[in-house]
């Protein structure tokens, strides 16, 4: 009989159609993935995948198994959630992108703890793509995300508006300017967030629309590191205004907008809409709204 672990590995391979990608997403070795698929095919007596040169293809038997495997895993998670909700303490796995973590996560976490001390919350801070993947694979219950979530399986509740700004050092020609023209960015040195970051995706999308090329001389998953490098004159950055406000108030760096390129976005509360919205998730959503209303 197929185990839940086998079904989980099979689903990941069926979605990615590459064993190496599935192994990476599941944090297991590629031989483990390959052996699991071979064991399933032997047990069921059918081929689940056709092996192409660079990619796998689901067979009709594989497609049938995928449909039922997803239902089995979904029912397991619903059962697991129901049992956890019946316990004295309620567990909540929270994801958060970096810009939100730097500016809003602490007060939200404090509010949640004060109003619902029975909730045992854990936090993980990663970029948009990583958090979306974790939600889809039920590694998180809920997440605060700043970037563009692609999957239709993820519910997206707008939380608050945010704006991205170009930041510079005091010796840069942009210093003390409220607005700059898109073409003035051409050839400028930038330190950007890492690939997969919502901040970087939005900025690069605007650059493509404006047909402007920049020099990316560095990247970092840390907004604080980018701000510090900009402060020391190593290049320009693009950061949420919420993250840089205290630095601009102290006159350590300067932030300006780009004409005809309004980099406005929304922060979202996200969760897998195929999973039940548990009571602790509802309490977390309410804590988020309370913090936003205080601003």
Pairwise CA distance, residues 159 & 256, whole Å: 24
**Is residue 268 a contact partner of residue 157, using CB atoms and an 8 Å limit?**
yes
CATH of residue 37's domain is 1.10.10.10
Of 56, 84, 112, which residue constitutes the final position of a domain? 84
15 and 131 part of one domain: no
67 and 29 part of one domain: yes
**Is residue 122 a contact partner of residue 73, using CB atoms and an 8 Å limit?**
no
180 and 219 part of one domain: yes
Pairwise CA distance, residues 153 & 138, whole Å: 12
CATH of residue 231's domain is 3.40.190.290
218 and 258 part of one domain: yes
**Is residue 108 a contact partner of residue 287, using CB atoms and an 8 Å limit?**
yes
150 and 179 part of one domain: no
| Cβ atoms within 10 Å, residue 222 | 13
Q: What 8-state DSSP symbol labels residue 182?
A: G
Handedness of CA 280, 283, 289, 290 (dihedral sign): negative
Q: What percent of the chain has pLDDT over 70?
A: 97
- Number of domains observed in the structure of the chain: 3
pLDDT in tens, 60-114: 998 999 999 888 888 888 787 777 666 567 899 999 998 899 889 999 999 999 9
Calculate the CA dihedral of residues 140, 200, 11, 63 and round it to 10 degrees.
140
251 and 277 part of one domain: no
Pairwise CA distance, residues 229 & 78, whole Å: 46
18 and 101 part of one domain: no
Tell me the residue range of the domain where 243 lies.
163-264
110 and 249 part of one domain: no
46 and 139 part of one domain: no
- Lowest-pLDDT choice from 169-173, 229-233, 280-284, 290-294: 290-294
Calculate the CA dihedral of residues 176, 179, 185, 190 and round it to 10 degrees.
60
**Is residue 247 a contact partner of residue 119, using CB atoms and an 8 Å limit?**
no
Residue 38 has pLDDT above 70, yes or no: yes
Q: What's the token pair of residue 156? A: 């997206």
pLDDT in tens, 210-265: 999 999 999 998 889 999 999 999 999 999 998 898 899 999 999 999 998 888 88
Pairwise CA distance, residues 263 & 146, whole Å: 12
16 and 140 part of one domain: no
191 and 132 part of one domain: no
Does residue 27 sit in helix, strand or coil?
Answer: coil
The residue among 223, 230, 221 whose CA lies nearest residue 255 is 230
110 and 137 part of one domain: yes
């Amino acid at each position: 009989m197929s185990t839940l672990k086998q079904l989980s590995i099979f689903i990941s391979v069926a979605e990615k159609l590459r064993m190496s990608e599935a192994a990476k997403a599941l944090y297991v070795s590629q031989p483990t993935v390959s052996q699991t698929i071979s064991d399933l095919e032997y047990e069921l007596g059918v081929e689940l995948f056709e092996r192409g040169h660079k990619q796998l293809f689901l067979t009709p038997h594989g497609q049938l198994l995928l449909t039922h495997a997803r239902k089995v895993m979904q029912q397991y998670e619903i059962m697991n959630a129901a049992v956890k909700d019946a316990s004295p303490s309620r567990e909540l796995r929270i994801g958060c992108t970096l810009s939100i973590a730097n500016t809003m996560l602490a007060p939200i976490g404090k509010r949640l703890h004060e109003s619902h001390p029975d909730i045992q919350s854990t936090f993980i801070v990663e970029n948009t793509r990583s958090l979306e993947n974790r939600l889809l694979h039920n590694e998180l219950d809920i997440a605060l995300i700043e970037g563009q979530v692609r999957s239709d399986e993820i519910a997206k509740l707008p939380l608050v508006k945010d704006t991205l700004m170009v930041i510079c050092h005091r010796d840069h020609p942009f210093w003390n300017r409220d607005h700059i023209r898109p073409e003035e960015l051409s050839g400028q040195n930038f330190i950007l967030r890492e690939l997969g970051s919502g901040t970087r995706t939005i900025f690069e999308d605007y650059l493509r629309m404006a047909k402007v090329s920049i020099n990316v001389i560095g990247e970092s998953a840390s907004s604080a590191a980018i701000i510090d490098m900009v402060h020391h004159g190593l290049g320009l950055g693009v950061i949420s205004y919420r993250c840089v406000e205290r630095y601009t108030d102290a006159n350590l760096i300067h932030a300006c907008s780009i004409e005809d390129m309004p980099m406005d976005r929304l922060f979202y509360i996200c969760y897998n809409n195929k999973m039940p919205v548990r009571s602790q998730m509802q309490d977390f959503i309410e804590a988020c709204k309370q913090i936003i209303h205080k601003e």
